[in-house]
A and B are shown apart, each in its own frame.
Chain A
Amino acid sequence: MRGGKTAARLSVWPMFLLLAAGFGLVLSSAPAWAETIEIVRPSQFPYLGNRVAVWVVAQLHILFAAFILGAPIFVVISEWLGMRHQDPKYDRLAKEVTKVTAILYSMTALTGGFFVLMLVALYPSFTGWLFNHFFPIFGITYPLLFIAETVVLYCYWYTWDALQGEKKGRHLSIGVLLNLIGIVTLFVIDAPTAFMNTPVRAAEGAMNLRQYIETTATLWDKIDNFSWMPLNFHRLVGNICFGGFIAGLIAAYMYMFSKSDEERAYYDWMGFVGNFIGISALLFLPLMGYVYGSEFYDYDASIGPYMMGDQLSMYFIMQGGMVGLIFLASAYYIWLSLKRIEVPDYSTTVTRSLVAGILSVIVPGLGQFYNGQWGKGAIFLVGQAGLVGAILYAVSLHEGEGLGLLLLLFLLPLAVIIASSSDAMRHGRADEPKSLLTLPVRLIAALLLAVERFGLRRRQLVIKSAFVVLLIGNAVWMTPHAFVGAVSELTDQNYDLLSLPSDWDFMALMPAKNTAAVLMVLMIMMSFLLYTRAIKRGTIRWGQINFSSQFALVFLAFSAIWTMGLMGVVRSSLRKYFHVYDLLPDISPESFTPTLAYSGRLITILTVIFFLIVSLAIWLALGMGHDKKANGR
């Protein structure tokens, strides 16, 4: 541990000096620079081109930033759990992740500085314009927050050993403060990012967008734009998910290289906790993404088709595939985790969970089916009835895990109800078949029936049935309206060869996708429920998990971060050929939408680079002293 502290101390002081110098430079020169900026020709980045150069640096910066903002959230929770249960494992987990965070913090600062330099050099006009419009953020608030976060992070790290025992509460307070600053920093820097996508408009007819932004809109108007708050929450939850999967990655590395049973047992446990946090946060992301995407539709309905049906449609098919793989890998990890638990029967809870889950989904689903006949009021009542019925059923569990299920049951029907209350549904298009919206739900009902009828109280069958539903859900999610890169490429000649038959068009619509997402989330929740149930009733043989589970953890981290890169491209591409949507055009030769193949290659390269650096950080923070520590015991 001493060695680790020294390494961290070595990295912090130069960074403080660098930050202080940079901050002083910004404060002293920025206002003058803002007034006397010269119009200069943008530099051309050799070989890669300007867009790719900025893309590389920006994505690396966001990946590091996501970890250093997300990890402290569950670090503090873990530390609190350790204090509450007097379990040193939680404290050790928190400390080890913080140690890696401290190293990666430097990378965040470095890539952030590099990002700004690239913007200034490669897109000077746009950068100058944006910095001027958000000067109080870029010039004052953000640097101050960054410095505050640096100070608090290192206080948190260096006081870990000193503030133990009765002083633990003080240390936790520092951690909470760190998170508060981190969240505010995220929200602040999200403002210009969101503004670039959805700049605030004046009321219709009052004045055009440019005139409004340049003459009338206040800083707050620009900050509080359509997509700002949804982006904040989407990124916040995404960061926690990210942090969880990286913690799982750390655990997998350390497990693989552990030399003692004790170490293996600890890192086996840590891997489970990381996966649990990552997947728990991931379950909320489809809903967050739905709200975020919905804001784009509200802002400008033409963005929606560009995103889901036209140029970016295949990105979402790829996303569907990735999410499906992540869910499958997570369920596989739980499957392997269960195999190393000695446990009695727990099929009653499984049945109840399934029934409650189906109630929560099928009843609002039926409401949608009869929507045309019943109207808006009826569907709302039916949806509520389904929700109440499911909650009552969940309450009947009288078990601790019922609480988690309650939360699930509250959120999932909500998503279905939101979908059902969309304009499309409210208008009740008679020519749109809605009955098959409930197809996956009916399939799972049939599955349950089979389980009940044959009296198969076998846990393996229940888990395997969850895999079947995951596959069906993923197939529905992945089904596109047509196998073309964009709707505009459909012609009379290729339409019948590449498109869904008109009777089955609903499979590509949002209600079907929502149902699929709900089902997949439900199955993962059910698997976790089984696991927590098994832990309570059984005996866990920590450290004896199948070795392939560690590859599942690595896969989860790699895939989640790859998906994050993919969605980053989507968010950025939604500006189309603008730096600021509809306002400041990007008329550089690279302002077209990149193909999925091109983005896929670049995202893969960046993910690999990120993993190389993170792997090095893990080795520096935990691996170097590991053997000595193990031998010391």
Chain B
Amino acid sequence: MSAQAPAQKSWVQIIRWKLIIAAVMGALLWFGSGQLGFPVIFQWMFAGYAFLGFAVFVLLDAPAMKTLPGWQAGAGIIAFYLVCSALYVAASSLLPQFNSGTEVEGIGRKMGKFTRSDEATNSLVAQTKELSAKADEIIAKLNQLRASGASLEDVGSVEVPTLPHDATPIKNLTPEQLLERGKLVFKDHECYNCHKVGGIGGKKRGPKLDNIGNLATKPQLKDKIFHPTHWQADGFEDRKKDKMPDKYPDVMTDDELEALTSYLITLKDASVDTPKPIFPSGYSIK
């Protein structure tokens, strides 16, 4: 680091010990993490860091780069950009990818809240689809609709008439179908992110729900989902963060709520420690 720089080492000298240390560290991390129960993919990751360290330390001790004249510097910059680009594209592609397809299906189902459910509007949507080839006529109809005071929801739904949307009213479903619909609602609204069921799901933000069917009634669960502050689960009373969202009246239809709670009350695994509900004194469902 002083002005009297030490004699420049050869590449072999620079690499030799670092490679040995990296190999030892990598092996230790690999076997050590394996012994501690880490899955193989994590073992690879930890061992990979040992070799990233190797690369970094080789770079630190590498001989000084020669000054590149004019066009060589320009070519060097372009090559460097290409390498960086390839590196970032590769890294972002190698990490696990979320399956967008499953999300698209869920979005189609969740559109229920944003599509008018009365028969007149359903008829209008059907009519709109039928006439989609006649764009001018549709536009005229929609303008009429807007002039009559209808909301933007109707306008938005015209943009994508082809999204999958299972609108079968729940009154027409069998109990089994209702249960399946309830599971889908649980998935679509990402309840699993906070609530574990069957050991799968969120990280303790909300209570496990495996035994909720033995602890709360369907009306109580409906009340909780649409009015999260009306009652709390034991151990989750005074939260300032990670509170249950109060948005569900805005994004969930009554049918979805019915299906979801129909599913939840079937969860009766008493071996799981689902927190008990704590109802405030004088609690009643309004």
**Interface presence of B9 (CB below 8 A):** no
Smallest Cβ-Cβ distance to B5: which chain A residue: A339
**Interface presence of B190 (CB below 8 A):** yes
**Interface presence of A290 (CB below 8 A):** no
Contact of B98 among A585, A588, A593 (CB under 8 A): A593
* Complex contact B56–A300 (CB within 8 A): no
* Complex contact A125–B242 (CB within 8 A): no
With a cutoff of 8 Å between Cβ atoms, the chain B residues found around residue A583 in the complex are 250
Closest CB-CB distance, B240 to chain A, in whole Å?
Answer: 6
* Complex contact B56–A597 (CB within 8 A): no
Smallest Cβ-Cβ distance to B136: which chain A residue: A41
Q: Cα distance A591–B99 when bound, in Å?
A: 14
**Interface presence of A162 (CB below 8 A):** no
* Complex contact B92–A554 (CB within 8 A): no
Among A305, A342, A432, A608, residue most surrounded by chain B Cβ atoms (within 10 Å): A305
Smallest Cβ-Cβ distance to A298: which chain B residue: B241
Stretch in contact with the other chain, from A204-212, A219-227, A356-364, A397-405: A204-212
Q: Cα distance A252–B179 when bound, in Å?
A: 63
**Interface presence of A156 (CB below 8 A):** no
**Interface presence of B41 (CB below 8 A):** yes
With a cutoff of 8 Å between Cβ atoms, the chain A residues found around residue B138 in the complex are 41
* Complex contact B76–A600 (CB within 8 A): no
Smallest Cβ-Cβ distance to A589: which chain B residue: B160
Q: How large is the interface on A (under 10, 10 to 19, 20 to 34, 35 or more residues)?
A: 35 or more
Q: Cα distance A611–B84 when bound, in Å?
A: 12
Q: A314-B97, A471-B49 are in contact. Are A306 and B190 (CB under 8 A)?
A: yes
* Complex contact B91–A593 (CB within 8 A): no
* Complex contact B160–A468 (CB within 8 A): no
* Complex contact B98–A486 (CB within 8 A): yes
* Complex contact A594–B100 (CB within 8 A): yes
Contact of B73 among A125, A129, A256, A423 (CB under 8 A): A256
Q: A125-B156, A587-B163 are in contact. Are A485 and B96 (CB under 8 A)?
A: yes
Closest CB-CB distance, B191 to chain A, in whole Å?
Answer: 9
* Complex contact B92–A318 (CB within 8 A): yes
Closest CB-CB distance, A573 to chain B, in whole Å?
Answer: 11
Q: Cα distance A397–B71 when bound, in Å?
A: 48
* Complex contact B204–A429 (CB within 8 A): yes
* Complex contact B92–A600 (CB within 8 A): yes
Stretch in contact with the other chain, from B32-40, B168-176, B254-262: B32-40
With a cutoff of 8 Å between Cβ atoms, the chain B residues found around residue A38 in the complex are 139, 143
Q: Cα distance A308–B103 when bound, in Å?
A: 17
Interface residue tally for chain B (C-beta within 8 Å): 99
* Complex contact B92–A343 (CB within 8 A): no
* Complex contact A485–B98 (CB within 8 A): yes
Interface residues of A in 296-315 (CB under 8 A from B): 297-298, 300-302, 304-306, 309-311, 314
Closest CB-CB distance, A556 to chain B, in whole Å?
Answer: 11
Q: Cα distance A39–B140 when bound, in Å?
A: 8
* Complex contact B247–A582 (CB within 8 A): yes
* Complex contact B193–A39 (CB within 8 A): no
**Interface presence of B135 (CB below 8 A):** yes
Closest CB-CB distance, B228 to chain A, in whole Å?
Answer: 8
Closest CB-CB distance, A502 to chain B, in whole Å?
Answer: 9
Q: A501-B37, A504-B38 are in contact. Are A587 and B157 (CB under 8 A)?
A: yes
Q: A492-B199, A500-B42, A587-B157 are in contact. Are A311 and B98 (CB under 8 A)?
A: yes
Contact of B249 among A208, A341, A500 (CB under 8 A): A208
**Interface presence of A406 (CB below 8 A):** no
Q: A298-B241, A547-B66 are in contact. Are A475 and B139 (CB under 8 A)?
A: no
Stretch in contact with the other chain, from B106-114, B208-216, B263-271: B106-114
Q: Cα distance A301–B93 when bound, in Å?
A: 29
Contact of B139 among A39, A306, A317 (CB under 8 A): A39
**Interface presence of A599 (CB below 8 A):** yes
Contact of A306 among B62, B80, B193, B242 (CB under 8 A): B193
With a cutoff of 8 Å between Cβ atoms, the chain B residues found around residue A348 in the complex are none
Q: A125-B156, A309-B193, A475-B46 are in contact. Are A487 and B107 (CB under 8 A)?
A: no
With a cutoff of 8 Å between Cβ atoms, the chain A residues found around residue B99 in the complex are 485-486, 489
Q: Cα distance A501–B93 when bound, in Å?
A: 25
4 closest A-B pairs by CB: A600-B92, A305-B193, A485-B98, A342-B3
Interface residues of A (CB under 8 A from B): 38-42, 125-126, 129, 201, 204-205, 208-210, 253, 256-257, 294, 297-298, 300-302, 304-306, 309-311, 314, 317-318, 321, 328, 332, 335, 338-339, 341-343, 422-424, 427, 429, 432, 459-460, 464, 467-468, 471, 474-475, 478-479, 481, 483-492, 495-501, 503-505, 509, 539, 541, 546-548, 551, 554-555, 558-559, 562, 577, 582-585, 587-589, 591-597, 599-601, 603-604, 607-608, 611
Q: 14 additional contacts, CB 8 Å, given A471-B49, A558-B81, A587-B111?
A: A125-B159, A309-B203, A311-B103, A332-B60, A475-B45, A475-B46, A505-B203, A548-B65, A585-B153, A587-B157, A593-B98, A601-B92, A608-B81, A611-B81
Q: What would 25 A/B residue contacts be, using CB atoms closer than 8 Å?
A: A38-B143, A201-B247, A257-B74, A301-B243, A301-B244, A305-B193, A305-B203, A306-B190, A310-B193, A343-B2, A479-B42, A487-B202, A488-B102, A496-B39, A498-B39, A501-B38, A503-B36, A509-B203, A547-B65, A558-B84, A587-B114, A597-B95, A600-B88, A600-B93, A608-B81
